[in-house]
Amino acid sequence: MLNLPINIPEGLKYKYVYVLEKKYDKLLKHIYSVGLYCTYRQFYALYHKLNPTLTENYIKKKCTSIIQKLEDSGFIEVNNINRNKYFYLKKPALALFTGDYKKVPRFNHGQNMKNDKFLISLMKLEYYITNDFIINNSNLIHHLYSLTKRIHAATLKYPKLSYNMEDLEYIIQETDYDGIKKRVKDYPHDNILKIIWIDIYNIYRKLLLQNQTVSPNPSYFKLFIVGDSLRLHYAPNILIFDLHEIKYYEKKLNNLFHEFFNITSNITKDIQSNFKKNSTLGSKQNNHIGYSLSLIGYNKESLEKKIAHINRFIDNNPHTPIINDANYIYIDIAKYINHSTQYNSALVNADNYVDTNINALLKK
């Protein structure tokens, strides 16, 4: 039985049946996961990734046919940047993944073409095609739950720990942040559950608002037992898409410095030198919470220049929360947007765009 979204207009139901029976939703799901945009050539590569035995000529013909049928059904809109064709998902396609035709993300194609969302979507999809891994904003909230589950497991193993099992089990199952915040807000400031769900959550919320995220696995993570409580040693790898002027990163690093430095009971002094010398963050008696940094972009020369600047900027500060030198991830999407100076100029130099619906991700 096909699982149709609810609240579909009666006249669209047969189109949903067709798309689901053809399993086109499996293809669109990857595009939805990275940000709604896809070039034709990326679609060919995505289809080949899922069907590796098919020939290049067959894939191109098949994909061209699928795109046409999806466009005719109103699930996608086709457009181009000069000679490079692309498409984006429309409301009927979005409803496939929200499950409700009346509850889909607000989408403004014209605005997205003026800010960084279009390029970020192409970079995320290209990274998945090349590396079989999706750079996803949901990694932020996933980290918080993963840390909580590790505390829960440690408390089960060592009953002497002073963490409330009822609260831990509630947090692990709860999807509403307000409920979690209510549980931890009256904890002592040095309680790591409060640090995770108040301090780190607030840092991550700001990243999310700027369409920035973290890698699935942290650069460093350990828990240490000290008396009847735990000490958190944790450093996520923050991912920033390189669509900013070089001065942006100085401001960003300063903001992150204050946010990590001001976490109650967090010791950042010598965290970088400790990690570089012996791959630890510091004394087991203290909480040590820092981060590593990777820029993601499609202009290798720009990436190299900015990484060199960032590493000079953070050097020789004993209190920096950055545990090692920043690095970059190069993603070749220039081939999809070449011969398009108008769009390149407008997008690459765009200011941060705050997606009006991004807050909802933390509630999922």
Report pLDDT digits (tens) over 302-325: 999 999 999 998 877 889 999 999
Alpha-helix runs per DSSP H in 190-299: 192-194, 201-209, 246-261, 271-278
Task: Please tell me which residue, 105 or 267, carries the higher pLDDT value.
Answer: 267
Q: Do residues 164 and 228 share a domain?
A: yes
The closest alpha carbon to 332, from 42, 47, 71, 14, belongs to 42
Token readout for 353 is 């765009």
The closest alpha carbon to 132, from 67, 212, 216, belongs to 216
Question: What is the mean pLDDT of the segment spanning 56-81?
Answer: 94
Q: Do residues 181 and 230 share a domain?
A: yes
The dihedral built from the CA positions of residue 340, 346, 348 and 352, taken in this order, carries a sign that is: negative
Report residue 133's pLDDT band, with 50, 70 and 90 as the boundaries.
confident
Burial class (CB in 10 A: 0-12, 13-18, 19+), 215: middle
Cα 145 to Cα 174: distance, rounded to the nearest angstrom: 10
Report residue 337's pLDDT band, with 50, 70 and 90 as the boundaries.
confident
Last-in-domain residue among 131, 157, 184: 131
Question: What is the mean pLDDT of the segment spanning 286-314?
Answer: 95
Question: What is the mean pLDDT of the segment spanning 70-90?
Answer: 91
Question: What is the mean pLDDT of the segment spanning 117-146?
Answer: 92
Q: What pLDDT score was predicted for residue 27?
A: 92
Q: Do residues 68 and 162 share a domain?
A: no
Spell out the SS3 assignment of 282-342.
Answer: CCCCCEEECEEEEEEECCHHHHHHHHHHHHHHHCCCCCCCECCCCEEEECCCHHHHCCCHH
Cα 104 to Cα 232: distance, rounded to the nearest angstrom: 38
Cα 67 to Cα 83: distance, rounded to the nearest angstrom: 17
Given a cut of 70, whether residue 363 has pLDDT beyond it is: no
Per the domain annotation, does 263 fall within a domain?
yes
Burial class (CB in 10 A: 0-12, 13-18, 19+), 244: buried
Report residue 346's pLDDT band, with 50, 70 and 90 as the boundaries.
very low
The closest alpha carbon to 125, from 212, 210, 214, 32, belongs to 32
Last-in-domain residue among 115, 131, 147: 131
Given a cut of 70, whether residue 350 has pLDDT beyond it is: no
94-128, pLDDT tens digit by residue? 999 999 999 888 878 887 777 788 899 999 999 99
Q: Do residues 126 and 194 share a domain?
A: no
Question: What is the mean pLDDT of the segment spanning 55-74?
Answer: 95
Residue range of the domain that includes 153: 139-332
Q: Do residues 322 and 186 share a domain?
A: yes
Token readout for 306 is 């900015």
